[in-house]
């Protein structure tokens, strides 16, 4: 491999000859060889940097502290980065400085060097038209632009992937709830038989869970839309022109199509990540809901002959390498694993969020890495579960009727008529003698056949009062 020499404030360093990045990026590559194959800085963060660097350059030009020529070069490179054309130029891992300074400089160096090449220069040139710190990073600090990139990346992931995925599954559950509103089945509490409800009512509970989680995620978006840019080093905005924060945030909003605004308190925006902690709390809520939903559907579809078997879910692929014909609830399993991962990510984010020291939180890369991981898993997981499982849910009417007819808890309807203790006696008799509830009730002498048929009507028991 051929190399060229680059230098920074610590001296000279050898960099791959064709790399657009420079000395500070190379130092990070050499000093942080930690899970480089699996824990690279997320592309979403890099692309977010492209929007904010473009916005900063335009704002600086309008403030007449950056020339139109330099601004144009920065903008052109930022457009390439946002389109993913320079993804290979960002090799750094998540496990680096907690402020994200090395990733910010990686972006600054790539923009400066690529801009120089677009202007007709060569990477090996000693003098270049753009400087990473003085031009690309003008009016900025890693301390305010990295959290800005975090919020841009988080909002884009939530709006483009997470919310659409959850919304699709929520919609399907609502449709299924309406479709099966009159399918009466036995309810279960403590994993034991309980009073009846309809399959539609059961599914409506799942839909309500997801609806609440979706509302919580959407509610936090405005807070995530508050950007730290303009706070520079510690929140005071030192070295940034007047109104830079407001104008840069407005420009980012224009470029992304999302309602970003300047953070009302830059000290909080740099020193903490409470907004991301709160937002991930909403993702954790979704994970908790999805764990319950997927587990219920897994158990309701269990069988096909030795389980509950009240609903049928799509058979997508063979389930066993040794048992012929076996089919497993794989989408349920994937979704519950996703839910577990999100809950684990939440612990890491909570710890990271609690470690803001004085004017700067230094767990930034880890927080956004886990946040984006959760947001993507939930969005894509819900979309997959919706397409390959939820849309295909169907009642297994024969099993539903069998379980309903055999349930002892229908005796609950007799309690207001003959009392709790006599009703319990009937249920115990039916269970011990292995006979139907109707037979035990009539045999007890407490009710007649006509009274039993009138009072014990599952369809009437499911009416919401």
Nearest alpha carbon to residue 81 among 149, 18, 16: 149
| 41-75 per-position pLDDT tens digit | 999 999 999 999 999 999 999 999 999 999 999 99
Cα 392 from Cα 52, distance rounded (Å): 43
3-class DSSP assignment, residue 435: coil
Residue 169 has pLDDT above 90, yes or no: yes
Residue 272: DSSP 8-state: -
- Catalytic residue list contains 28: no
Residue 116 has pLDDT above 90, yes or no: yes
Q: Which single residue is written with the structure tokens 């919580």?
A: 216
Active site residue: 190, 350, 357, 423, which one?
Answer: 190
End-to-end CA distance of the chain: 76
| 222-249 per-position pLDDT tens digit | 999 999 999 999 999 999 999 999 999 9
Residue 76 has pLDDT above 90, yes or no: yes
Residue 413: DSSP 8-state: G
Q: What is the DSSP string of 106-163?
A: HHHHHHHHHHHHHTT--TT-SS-S--IIIIITTT--HHHHHHHHHHHHHHHHIIIIIH
Residue 190 has pLDDT above 90, yes or no: yes
| Assigned token pair, 49 | 């940097």
Residue 190: DSSP 8-state: T
Cα 281 from Cα 292, distance rounded (Å): 17
Cα 328 from Cα 314, distance rounded (Å): 10
Q: State the pLDDT at residue 127.
A: 95
For residues 175-180, give the mean pLDDT: 98
Long-range pairs for 397-404 at CB < 8 Å and ≥24 separation?
397/183, 399/308, 399/309, 399/310, 400/183, 400/184, 400/185, 400/186, 400/199, 400/310, 403/185, 403/186, 403/308, 403/310, 404/184, 404/185, 404/186, 404/196, 404/458
3-class DSSP assignment, residue 282: helix
pTM of the model: 0.97
Q: What is the DSSP string of 4-65?
A: EEEEETTEEEEEETT-S--HHHHHHHHH--SSTTT-BPPHHHHHHHHHHHHHHHHHHHHTTS
Residue 364 has pLDDT above 90, yes or no: yes
For residues 386-402, give the mean pLDDT: 98
| 240-280 per-position pLDDT tens digit | 999 999 999 999 999 999 999 999 999 999 999 999 999 99
| Assigned token pair, 398 | 């024969």
For residues 296-310, give the mean pLDDT: 97
Per-chain mean pLDDT for the chain: 97
For residues 350-372, give the mean pLDDT: 97
Nearest alpha carbon to residue 243 among 49, 11, 62: 62
| 120-152 per-position pLDDT tens digit | 999 999 999 999 999 999 999 999 999 999 999
Decide: residue 165, CB within 10 A, 0-12 exposed, 13-18 middle, 19+ buried. Answer: buried
Residue 465 has pLDDT above 90, yes or no: no
CB-based contact 361:272 (threshold 8 Å): yes
For residues 274-296, give the mean pLDDT: 98
b/e code 120-145 from CB counts within 10 Å (16+ = b): eeebeeeebbbbbeebbbbbbbbbbb
Nearest alpha carbon to residue 58 among 138, 132, 155: 138
Instruction: Give phi and psi for 227, each to the nearest 5.
Output: -100, 145
Active site residue: 320, 350, 384, 444, which one?
Answer: 320
Q: Please state whether the peptide bond connecting residue 384 to the residue before it is cis, i.e. omega within 30 degrees of 0.
A: no
Q: State the pLDDT at residue 107.
A: 99
Q: State the pLDDT at residue 101.
A: 98
Portion of the chain with pLDDT greater than 90, in percent = 99
- Catalytic residue list contains 116: no
| Assigned token pair, 303 | 């069988």
| Assigned token pair, 232 | 């520079």
Cα 44 from Cα 146, distance rounded (Å): 12
3-class DSSP assignment, residue 387: helix
Instruction: Mention every residue, 6+ apart, whose C-beta is less than 8 A from residue 13.
Output: 5, 6, 7, 23, 26, 27
For residues 358-381, give the mean pLDDT: 98
Residue 334 has pLDDT above 90, yes or no: yes
Confidence of residue 179 (pLDDT cuts 50, 70, 90): very high
> Dihedral of CA 217/222/228/229: which sign?
positive
Q: State the pLDDT at residue 337.
A: 98
């Amino acid at each position: 491999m051929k190399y060229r020499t680059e230098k920074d404030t610590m001296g000279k360093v050898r960099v791959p000859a064709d790399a657009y990045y420079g000395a500070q990026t190379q130092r990070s590559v050499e000093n942080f060889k930690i899970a480089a194959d699996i824990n690279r800085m997320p592309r979403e963060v890099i692309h977010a940097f492209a929007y904010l660097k473009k916005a900063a350059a335009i704002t600086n030009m309008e403030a007449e502290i950056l020339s139109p020529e330099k601004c144009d070069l920065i903008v052109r490179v930022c457009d390439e980065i946002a389109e993913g054309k320079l993804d290979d130029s960002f090799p750094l891992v998540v496990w680096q400085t907690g402020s994200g300074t090395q990733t910010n400089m990686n972006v600054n160096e790539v923009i400066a060097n690529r801009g120089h090449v677009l202007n007709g220069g060569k990477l090996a040139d000693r003098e270049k038209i753009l400087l990473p710190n003085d031009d690309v990073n003008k009016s900025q600090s890693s301390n305010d632009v990295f959290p800005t990139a975090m919020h841009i990346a988080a909002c884009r992931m939530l709006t483009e992937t997470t919310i659409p995925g959850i919304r699709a599954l929520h919609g399907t559950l609502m449709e299924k709830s309406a479709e099966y509103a009159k399918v009466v089945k036995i309810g279960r509490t403590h994993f034991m038989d309980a009073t009846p409800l309809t399959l539609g009512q059961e599914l409506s509970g799942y839909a309500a869970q997801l609806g609440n989680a979706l509302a919580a995620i959407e509610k936090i978006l405005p807070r995530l839309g508050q950007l730290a840019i303009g706070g520079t080093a510690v929140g005071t905005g030192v070295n940034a022109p007047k109104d830079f924060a407001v104008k840069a945030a407005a420009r980012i909003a224009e470029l992304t199509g999302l309602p970003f605004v300047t953070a009302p308190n830059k000290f909080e925006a740099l020193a903490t990540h409470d907004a991301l902690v709160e937002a991930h709390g909403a993702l954790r809520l979704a994970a908790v809901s999805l764990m319950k939903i997927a587990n219920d559907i897994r158990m309701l579809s269990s069988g096909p002959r030795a389980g509950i078997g009240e609903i049928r879910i799509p058979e997508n692929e063979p389930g066993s390498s040794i048992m012929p014909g076996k089919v497993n609830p794989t989408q349920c399993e994937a979704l519950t694993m996703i839910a577990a991962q999100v809950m684990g990510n939440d612990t890491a984010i909570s710890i990271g969020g609690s470690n803001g020291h004085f004017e700067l939180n230094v767990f930034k890369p880890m927080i956004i890495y886990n946040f984006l991981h959760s947001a993507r898993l939930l969005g894509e997981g819900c979309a997959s579960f919706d397409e390959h499982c939820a849309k295909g849910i169907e009642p297994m009417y024969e099993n539903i009727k069998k379980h309903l007819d055999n349930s002892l808890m229908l005796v609950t309807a007799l309690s207001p008529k003959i009392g709790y203790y006599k009703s319990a006696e009937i249920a115990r008799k039916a269970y011990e003698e292995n006979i139907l509830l109707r037979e035990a009730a009539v045999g007890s002498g407490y009710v007649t056949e006509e009274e039993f048929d009138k009072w014990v009507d599952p369809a009437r028991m499911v009416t919401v009062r």
